[in-house]
Amino acid sequence: MRWLKKENHKIKNQLPVHIGIIMDGNGRWAKKRGLPRSAGHKSGANNFRKITRYCSGIGIKYLTIYAFSTENWKRPEEEVKFLMNLFEQYIKEALSDFQKENIRIIFLGDKSKFSTNLKNLIDEVEKASKTKTGMTLNIAMNYGGRDEIVKAVKSLGEEVKKGKISPEEIDEESIAGKLYTCGQPDPDLIIRPSGEYRLSNFLLWQSAYSELIFMDILWPDFSTKDLDKALNEYSSRNRRFGGI
Ligand code: FPP
């Protein structure tokens, strides 16, 4: 296993188990260079591969990346189409590349809106990586934190209606059990590059006690050194989870 460089050794003891990343700033990165937004997404996708491999190499157990939100359909049709093609391309590559890597891929979000081809690819890659025992890579696509909670509440409502559970039995555990991240630990650390300071509907339930790190760097420029910086900052945080 590759490990963080010696000078960062102190990170080892306080390495987050689960990291969430909001990949933001592709459009601005392209604009700064006089390129179309699609070039920013392409560069962002390459960086996503690099950061994923790095996280897996240093021993992160869960990585959740925000690739497409329930609100991103509002973008121009051409940009949405480009992103969908990029996702298809990535999954095809992942199907061959990731055979060698011990990474499990799970998609978080409502798949019903995707093309049949994309839905099939998603099923295929989830199935193919199911037995992997290394890092779990969650790709949040057509994902919204509020939408996820609404779906969980509806599902519990159905169970109440059928008499399977009583309303009194509904608790935090039963709600968490209905989320896309069911069975996974909550993110310890959420990183948002690009200089925006908000969660934008990302892991709303799961982020209750996540440490948040906002960085003034656009996603395609976000390097493994920037990740190390965030990990160093995380290791100096005092997490109290409401205690003292
Ligand atoms: C936000 O930047 C980025 C997105 C909405 C798309 C993220 C997708 C990728 C990085 C593609 C790679 C993903 C996979 C799974 C292959 P923005 O467009 O909002 O940037 P801006 O705020 O500067 O306009």
Ligand 1 atom at shortest distance from the alpha carbon of 72:
5
Least-confidence region, from 4-18, 87-101, 147-161, 220-234: 4-18
Phi-psi domain of 25 (left: phi exceeds 0; alpha: psi -120 through 50; beta: other): left
Taking the CA atoms of residue 46, residue 55, residue 102 and residue 173 in that order, the dihedral angle to the nearest 10 degrees is -110
Q: Please report the pLDDT score of residue 12 as a whole number.
A: 53
The encoded tokens of residue 146 equal 């509020």
What separation in Å is there between the alpha carbon of 177 and the centre of ligand 1? 29
Q: Which residue in the list 8, 13, 24, 138 is annotated as catalytic?
A: 24
Report the candidate in 125, 129, 133, 140 with the shortest Cα–Cα distance to residue 190.
140
pTM comes to 0.94
What separation in Å is there between the alpha carbon of 67 and the centre of ligand 1? 6
Q: Which residue in the list 8, 72, 85, 232 is annotated as catalytic?
A: 72
pLDDT value at 2 more than 60: no
50: amino acid identity, one letter: K
Which residue has its alpha carbon closest to ligand 1 atom 22?
A: 25
Percent of the chain with pLDDT over 70: 94
101 HSE (CA, 13 A, CB side):
21
What separation in Å is there between the alpha carbon of 70 and the centre of ligand 1? 13
Q: Which residues contact 21 (CB under 8 A, 6 or more apart)?
A: 51, 63, 64, 65, 66, 190, 191, 192, 193
Which residue has its alpha carbon closest to ligand 1 atom 12?
A: 45
Which of 22, 24, 28, 87 to mutate for ligand 1's pocket (most ligand atoms within 8 Å of CB)? 24
* Chain center to CA of 203: 9
**Contact at 8 Å (CB) between 118 and 43?**
no
pLDDT-derived band at 6 (thresholds 50, 70, 90) equals: very low
Per residue in 186-219, pLDDT (tens digit) is: 999 999 999 999 999 999 999 999 999 999 999 9
Q: Please report the pLDDT score of residue 3 as a whole number.
A: 42
